[in-house]
């Protein structure tokens, strides 16, 4: 089985689907000739032509608006937003239009598509190349939100998303685009949406993470193990609809939970996860649920490693929660 990084695995998924389904088109800024600023779509325009891997004008609103029209026609557009920090010019099209199309048309106009976009910090990108805007989209009825942590899942989740009837926001954690390498099967396979994965089994504390922060959570869990704390680490993989059964089962087992995410704390997805656990596992909780997150500040440049919820900051939360 070949070793791939996440960039290669996503490229492989796109190539497979472009070959399999003539309705699939890729569009975005720099996705064609240069293969994307992160080279995720490299070589695809060469193989499939400029009509299927399309360099567009520099307008996120135009990219998503046009992609919606393509989806209404019956295509399977895969728009790329170069950085998820730049998704906001398209926010109206995503939130007011894409998310509501099936509902508002009484089912006449489904608009399935996958919006791919790199997410997260740790790459010295400052305010505008580092943010994690997933909560805005989770809060919007009608959207699915996916964030893989590794090459195997990235390919399988992307293929599943591309075949899903609903609009999917596919957040690609750019900090681990090339850092995470793994064996990835060459052919077609899917990782089903809304299924979390237990990455590390344990009985002491449940740690919930996704994307690049999964590695920080794992590092902290391994360190905690040396201190006799047995953590279970859950990679959500699909943020919404979340795999509620997996989350609740793990927390019922451990009685303790720490949620890790890069996005600002207040009204972040961690808040929703903890609210859900209060509703569904309250009597099993033996310690207050804890969030280790980005701060409620704009994402900083020089101090980004202080902002990010890295292992050093997760570890004390694990210890405190375990010993509460």
Binding mask 89-128 for another protein (x = CB under 8 A): x--xx--xx--xxxxxxxxxxx------------------
Strand stretches in the chain, DSSP E:
3-5, 24-28, 53-55, 76-80, 114-119, 144-146, 168-173, 181-183, 197-200, 205-209, 231-235, 238-240, 257-264, 290-294
| Window of 70-78, 127-135, 260-268, 288-296 that interacts with another protein by CB under 8 A | 70-78
In the structure encoding, which two tokens stand for residue 31, read together?
Answer: 């996705």
Residue 21 found at the interface with another protein (CB under 8 A): no
Give the C-alpha separation, 263 to 208, whole Å.
Answer: 14
Give the C-alpha separation, 25 to 29, whole Å.
Answer: 14
Report the residue from 20, 43, 47, 59 that binds another protein according to the rule CB under 8 A. 59
In the structure encoding, which two tokens stand for residue 276, read together?
Answer: 């859900």
In the structure encoding, which two tokens stand for residue 33, read together?
Answer: 């000739």
Give the C-alpha separation, 204 to 213, whole Å.
Answer: 20
Residue 142 found at the interface with another protein (CB under 8 A): yes
Give the C-alpha separation, 260 to 70, whole Å.
Answer: 37
| Window of 121-129, 138-146, 205-213, 251-259 that interacts with another protein by CB under 8 A | 138-146
What is the nearest approach in angstroms of another protein to the Cβ of residue 6? 26
Report the residue from 37, 182, 225, 244 that binds another protein according to the rule CB under 8 A. 244
| Window of 32-40, 69-77, 122-130, 288-296 that interacts with another protein by CB under 8 A | 69-77
- Give which of 144, 170, 173, 174 is closest to 159, Cα–Cα: 170
Report the residue from 6, 70, 169, 207 that binds another protein according to the rule CB under 8 A. 70
What is the nearest approach in angstroms of another protein to the Cβ of residue 214? 23
CB 254 within 8 A of CB 224: no
Size of the site for another protein (CB under 8 A): 46
- Active-site positions? 129
Residue 57 found at the interface with another protein (CB under 8 A): yes
Q: Footprint of another protein on this chain (CB under 8 A)?
A: 25, 51-52, 56-57, 59, 61-62, 64-75, 77, 89, 92-93, 96-97, 100-110, 141-142, 144, 165-166, 194, 241, 244-245
């Amino acid at each position: 089985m070949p070793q791939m990084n996440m960039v290669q695995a996503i490229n492989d998924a796109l190539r497979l689907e472009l070959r399999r389904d003539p309705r699939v088109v890729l569009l975005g800024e720099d996705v064609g000739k240069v293969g994307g600023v992160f080279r995720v779509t490299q070589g695809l325009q060469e193989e499939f032509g400029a009509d299927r891997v399309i360099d567009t004008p520099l307008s996120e609103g135009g990219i998503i608006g046009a992609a919606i029209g393509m989806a209404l026609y019956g295509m399977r557009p895969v728009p790329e937003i170069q950085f998820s920090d730049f998704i906001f010019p398209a926010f109206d099209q995503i939130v007011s239009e894409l998310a509501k199309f099936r509902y508002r048309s009484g089912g006449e106009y489904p608009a399935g598509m996958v919006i791919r976009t790199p997410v997260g910090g740790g790459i010295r990108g400052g305010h505008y190349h580092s943010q994690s805007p997933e909560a805005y989209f989770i809060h919007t009825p009608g959207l699915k939100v996916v964030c893989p942590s590794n090459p195997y899942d990235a390919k399988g989740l992307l293929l599943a998303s591309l075949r899903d009837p609903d609009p999917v926001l596919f957040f690609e954690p750019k900090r681990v685009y090339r850092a995470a390498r793994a064996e990835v099967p060459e052919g077609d396979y899917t990782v089903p949406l809304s299924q979390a994965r237990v990455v590390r089994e344990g009985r002491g504390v449940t740690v919930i993470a996704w994307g690049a922060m999964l590695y920080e959570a794992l590092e902290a869990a391994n360190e905690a193990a040396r201190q006799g704390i047995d953590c279970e680490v859950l990679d959500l993989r699909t943020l919404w609809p979340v795999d509620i059964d997996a989350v609740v089962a793990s927390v019922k087992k451990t009685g303790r939970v720490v949620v890790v995410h890069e996005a600002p704390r207040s009204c972040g997805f961690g808040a929703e996860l903890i609210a859900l656990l209060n509703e569904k596992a309250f009597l099993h909780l033996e310690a207050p649920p804890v969030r280790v997150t980005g701060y409620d500040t704009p994402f900083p440049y020089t101090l980004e490693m202080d902002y990010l919820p890295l292992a050093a900051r997760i570890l004390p939360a694990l210890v405190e929660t375990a010993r509460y």
